[in-house]
Amino acid sequence: MPDPPLNPFRFGNFVIDEFADRTAELAEVEADMRNGQDLVIFAPRRLGKSSLVLKAAAVMRRKKGLVAYLNVMTTPNKARFAERLAAAIYADVAAPKAKLKDKALAMFQGLRIVPTITVDPVDGRLGFSFGVGNAEADLEKTIEMLLELPAKIAEEREQRVVLILDEFQEIIDLDPNFPKLLRSIFQAQPDVCHIYLGSRRHVMRDLFSDMNEPFWRSAKQMEIGLIPPAQFARFIRRRFDTTNKALRAEVCDRLLDITHGHPYATQELCYSLWEQTPFDREADDDLLARALELVLQSEHAHFSLVWDGLAAGQRVLLEALAREPGRPLSGAYRNRHRLSGPSSTQTALKALVERELVEREPDGSYRVMEPFLVEWLDELVT
């Protein structure tokens, strides 16, 4: 007897096998990588920007392109940044002939600080360490030389190199002067495509849209948003159908009314609903309600921490925007929701936007970004 199908929905990790949509965005990112066009992607949290870029990178690698990926969030200091950058260049950009310890050592021999290279006894991967106690100037020069390596490799091998820097805004915490250093190096690398991603959108916008910042107008800007419900509905129902379960069209519509096409939230709720639905059965409203209840239980600890970290005025405003997205600075909105004066409301609104809890829509209104936070707040106040 064959094993039963596995849950076809995934959330929490990168998803590069199958997307619900993003066809146009994927084609655009792939083209930018091929053409060497630097790109910065703006998107709210958990909308799949990293998955999108990594899927395009996988296509690039299949076509023999050289792609290095570095998550700056994993580099709490300059030494770790140098180590992770060296590892990314070695693992993803170095040709197969260089993937030996002596070849790797030769590649980094000219650095100001030569790394100590270790071999993992389990998987054979090389690790790089720049030690401790090095002079700050020597470490910074080593990072500068590492950042120059992708362009040298691209020239030597006559191949396009793509350097992906995820959570790029964290570069400021490493050193406020790092953006100036990186920009001075990257602008002289025509054969390297630089892709910048970040989860703190207001910081990323400042980096790339403020004329006083080194990265001002240095990269093509791309926005990705929610997935249209019609596109998502076809994806969801197909995955139910191919795993011996079914989902009524009207129940699928109600599910998407909750998540608004938010990729992470939709996958999470679909995962829960699929688990609640027996094989050879159809998911109905009762099962959807149970699935949502379980999701809110799993998110409770996270949302409680968020709530506890808010000031009183921010809580009141967040509750109001959960009930009614709109223009909280208008007198009518403040009166309806008994908010404070315009100055206090503006202060609270700015704090919520900076924390990525609330976002401004193109029409100037504001809404809560996390779909399940809206549901959680509804339960909290009722």
**Residue-level pLDDT at 94:** 61
Question: 130 and 32, same structural domain?
Answer: yes
Q: For residue range 248-296, what is the model confidence (pLDDT) as tens digits? A: 999 999 999 999 999 999 999 999 999 999 999 999 999 999 999 999 9
Question: 346 and 266, same structural domain?
Answer: no
**DSSP bridge partners of 368:** 358
10 belongs to a structural domain: no
4 belongs to a structural domain: no
The CATH number of whichever domain residue 192 belongs to comes to: 3.40.50.300
Residues in the chain: 382
pLDDT above 80 for 104: no
Q: Which two tokens stand for residue 371?
A: 């779909």
Question: 66 and 148, same structural domain?
Answer: yes
- When divided into structural domains, the chain yields a total of 3
Question: 372 and 269, same structural domain?
Answer: no
8 belongs to a structural domain: no
Q: Where does a domain end: 195, 223, 251?
A: 223
361 belongs to a structural domain: yes
Amino acid at 128: F
2 belongs to a structural domain: no
Question: 158 and 37, same structural domain?
Answer: yes
* Percentage of the chain modeled with pLDDT above 70: 93
pLDDT above 80 for 178: yes
Question: 328 and 271, same structural domain?
Answer: no
Question: 80 and 188, same structural domain?
Answer: yes
Q: Where does a domain end: 274, 306, 338?
A: 306
Domain that holds residue 346: 309-381
Q: For residue range 58-73, what is the model confidence (pLDDT) as tens digits? A: 999 888 889 999 999 9
251 belongs to a structural domain: yes
Question: 180 and 85, same structural domain?
Answer: yes
Please report which confidence band the pLDDT of residue 328 belongs to, taking 50, 70 and 90 as the band edges: very high
7 belongs to a structural domain: no
pTM of the shown model: 0.84
Q: Where does a domain end: 177, 205, 223?
A: 223
Q: Which residues does 366 contact at the CB level (< 8 Å), separation at least 6?
A: 321, 325, 326, 327, 328, 349, 353, 358, 359, 360
Q: For residue range 91-102, what is the model confidence (pLDDT) as tens digits? A: 877 654 455 555
Alpha helices in the chain (DSSP H): 23-35, 49-62, 78-88, 101-107, 136-157, 171-174, 178-186, 201-209, 229-241, 249-259, 263-276, 285-308, 312-323, 331-337, 342-354, 371-381
